[in-house]
Amino acid sequence: MKVTHTMENGIEIEDYVISKRFFRDRQKFNFGNMFGIRSKTIKELQAKIRNGQLTTVPLEKCHICGGRRFSRIAAYDRYGFSVDQLLCRNCALVQTTPNFDSESMSCFYSNYYRSLQEGLEEEKGFSRRFKRQVRNGRKVFKRLSGHLKNVEECKLIEVGCGGGGIVSVFADHGYSIVGYDTDNTYLKYGVDKYELPLINSLAPEQPEVLYDAMILRHVLEHILDPKGFICGLKKMLRPDGLLYVEVPGLLAVNDGKYDFDLMKYFVIEHVSIFHLANLKSLFEKVGFEMVEGNEDIYAIFKLAPKATTPNKINTGVAESVLGELMIAEKRYVENKKSITEIEKSD
């Protein structure tokens, strides 16, 4: 029998045990190099959260549909932080709680995010990350370029550009493109080393031009108010403008993403983890329609020609998604067992 708990803020939570390992107290995780800089960063963050120097706030409602009923599928993230992963019983968006408040979130990204992600000193981490951005930029270019106007007529913007690896790919193909990011240290790396047109800001407050396309790669999962954020970005696009989005796709775990290991999706800075249907619903709520996309997730959206009523997410989507995650966990166990047997036979 599942027990539902009503929290002080009124949301209802029941535990849904995909695997006991997601709830194991003081679990030790192994995600890349957990020593050195990454280990130091984790310990410092945990101390600042405990003593209140970094403030967290609990989830009050689903970021997409406003629902207040959730299934708790994990009690930790992949680094061992005590944060719940709650799946909305209405739209199946997975959300981390508690989250950093706005001020603490800004502090986290300015001081801890890169070292937590890369586990390397800045210069080494920047070089490796930039090369990876360039590789990913080539994929973005392949998907998006066929939808764009002639190079001479097209103006592009990337929000959350980091050091500008993706910006560099489009610039090398002759496109007029500018990148925005709040991480000034990494952004400065791209400006100083590659002379890229990058600006230290989340986005232009009053854009002088409207853009033909916007790139938003692995940004939306970090945003506390995704609907409001997209509404702000919408004002920067031409009427026929496109918005390219990539986020971690929850259901891609069943296709072998992260070696079927759902735990590796969960990180303290990810506010939301989407699947394609609820991402599509989110964008429809603010006046977009999807051109193409998949569960990995990448998607291209265009402004809808007129106001439309968002398609309702199918009833029972939460149970369907939970079923998919259960299958992925079985595959993870089988995969891990196979690797262990191979290692023993060597």
Spatial separation of the C-alpha atoms in residues 267 and 285, rounded to whole Å: 27
Helix-helix angle 165-172:184-194, to 10 degrees:
30
Average pLDDT (7-26) is 85
Tokens of 206: 């009053």
- Please, which residues bridge with residue 69 across strands? 12
Query: If pLDDT is split at 50, 70 and 90, which confidence band does 307 have?
Result: low
Q: Is the pLDDT of residue 346 over 60?
A: no
**What average pLDDT is seen over the chain?**
90
What would the mean pLDDT of 240-264 be, rounded to a whole number?
A: 95
Select the more confidently predicted residue: 219 or 26. Answer: 219
Lowest-confidence range among 100-114, 146-160, 169-183?
100-114
pLDDT at 122 over 70: no
pLDDT tens per residue across span 63-121: 999 999 999 999 999 999 999 999 999 999 999 999 999 999 989 988 888 888 877 66
Residue 190: alpha-carbon gap to chain centroid: 22
* Residue-by-residue DSSP string for 45-71: HHHHHHTTSS-EE---S-TTT---EEE
DSSP class of 15? E
Per-residue pLDDT at 123: 64
Q: How many residues does the chain have?
A: 346
Q: In what order do the strands lie in the sheet with 198-200?
A: 198-200, 176-181, 155-159, 211-217, 237-246, 298-303, 288-294
- Of 260, 251, 233, nearest to 295 (Cα)? 251
Q: Which pLDDT does position 288 carry in this prediction?
A: 96
Query: Percent of the chain scored above 90 by pLDDT?
Result: 74
Please tell me the predicted confidence (pLDDT) of residue 111: 86
Percent of the chain surpassing pLDDT 70: 89
CB 93 within 8 A of CB 62: yes
Least confident of 26-35, 131-140, 268-277: 26-35
Query: What pLDDT is recorded for position 24?
Result: 75
Which DSSP state fits 273?
A: E
Assess contact for 217 and 161: CB atoms under 8 A: no
What is the predicted pLDDT for the residue at 338? 79
Helices (H), 195-313: 226-234, 276-285
Confidence of residue 308 (pLDDT cuts 50, 70, 90): low
Question: pLDDT class for 172, splitting at 50, 70, 90?
Answer: very high
Phi, psi of 254 (to 5 degrees): -75, -15
pLDDT digits (tens, 9 = 90+) for 197-235: 999 998 998 888 999 999 999 999 999 999 999 999 999
Mean pLDDT of 334-339: 84
Residue 238: exposure state from Cβ atoms within 10 A (0-12, 13-18, ≥19): middle
Does residue 33 register a pLDDT over 70? no
Report, as an integer, the average pLDDT of 243-261.
95
Global pTM value:
0.92
The radius of gyration computed from the CA coordinates of the chain, to the nearest angstrom, equals 20
More confident residue, 33 or 195: 195
User: For residue 1, is pLDDT > 60?
Assistant: no
pLDDT digits (tens, 9 = 90+) for 282-303: 999 999 999 999 999 999 999 9
Mean pLDDT of 181-205: 93
State the average pLDDT over residues 161-181: 97
| Higher-confidence position of 345 and 32 | 345
DSSP states of 185-215: HHHHHHHHHH---EEESSS-SS-SS-EEEEE
Answer with the residue of higher pLDDT: 257 or 32. 257
pLDDT at 309 over 90: no
